[in-house]
Amino acid sequence: MPKFFDDSFSPEHPVLTGEHLRHIGFALRMRPQERLTICACGTDYECEIIEITQECVQLKILSSALCCAEPTIKVTLFQALPKADKLEQIIQKAVELGVTEIVPVLTRRCISRPSAGEFTKKLPRLQRIAQSAAQQSGRGIIPAIAPLHTLEMAAERMSWLDVPLVLYEGEGGISFSEVRSDAESYGLCIGSEGGFDPSEIELLQGKGAKPVWLGKRILRCETAPLTALSVLMFRTGNLN
């Protein structure tokens, strides 16, 4: 069943216009009596098409329920910029795994070093990738892709979260099995191809981030966030 995100959708006046109208009426060529799902602010509305006009799609709501695909935790992924199109892959898979927000971060060892302005031009495409992944995986929200952050900005934001974590293979870290599983919000900070400079780890720790490791193997920067997210979702009962 096709799924559409629209936080402005009103159960009292169930109509769709604009891009949704064009997609339903022309791209999908849907017809009256066919069904679709509208997701608004985390609630799924199962609807039946009553009429499609030049102005709108008129719907009848058959049922509504909170989206069961949303995790019980909020996870912000702070991802140091990787090379090439790896960030697009990370966004797609992280959204499928249940991330709440993705914050791109420029660290000292990032090979890709766009300016904030240059990166801003990429945000619409990255947000479309997140939306597509959210629709495909049945999410209840479209995770936001934040503007490019410095590590200092990211560290400050991480300090607001219940459990801020940074993946680091150096000494002093803990296993994921020791991470709290009863918190409401988590932050995961992942390095780029070159990892983190020791001074950057000190900065993150100074803001409360705890170094964690995923075993003795060194994972690629596009593998590490997806592995960490999977482990965290499992530990918190969101992959059962």
Q: Is the distance from CB of 235 to CB of 178 less than 8 angstroms?
A: no
Check residue 215 and give its pLDDT: 83
Predicted model pTM = 0.88
Residues of the chain short of pLDDT 50, as ranges, are none
E strands, the chain, where? 3-5, 15-16, 35-40, 43-52, 57-66, 74-80, 101-106, 144-145, 149-150, 163-167, 174-175, 185-190, 210-213
Check residue 217 and give its pLDDT: 84
As beta bridge partners, residue 3 has: 37
The segment(s) of the chain belonging to CATH 2.40.240.20 are 3-66
Q: What does the block give as tokens for 209?
A: 């981030």
Query: For the structural domain made of 74-235, what CATH number should be given?
Result: 3.40.1280.10
The segment(s) of the chain belonging to CATH 3.40.1280.10 are 74-235
Condensed to tens digits (0 to 9), the pLDDT of residues 26-64 reads 889 999 999 999 999 889 999 999 999 999 999 999 999
Pairing mode of beta strands 57-66, 101-106: unpaired
DSSP output for 61-96: EEEEEE-TTS-SSEEEEEEE--STTHHHHHHHHHHH
Check residue 171 and give its pLDDT: 66
Check residue 166 and give its pLDDT: 97
What distance in Å separates the CA atoms of residue 155 and residue 165, rounded to the nearest whole number? 10
Check residue 169 and give its pLDDT: 81
Query: For the structural domain made of 3-66, what CATH number should be given?
Result: 2.40.240.20
What distance in Å separates the CA atoms of residue 143 and residue 134, rounded to the nearest whole number? 8
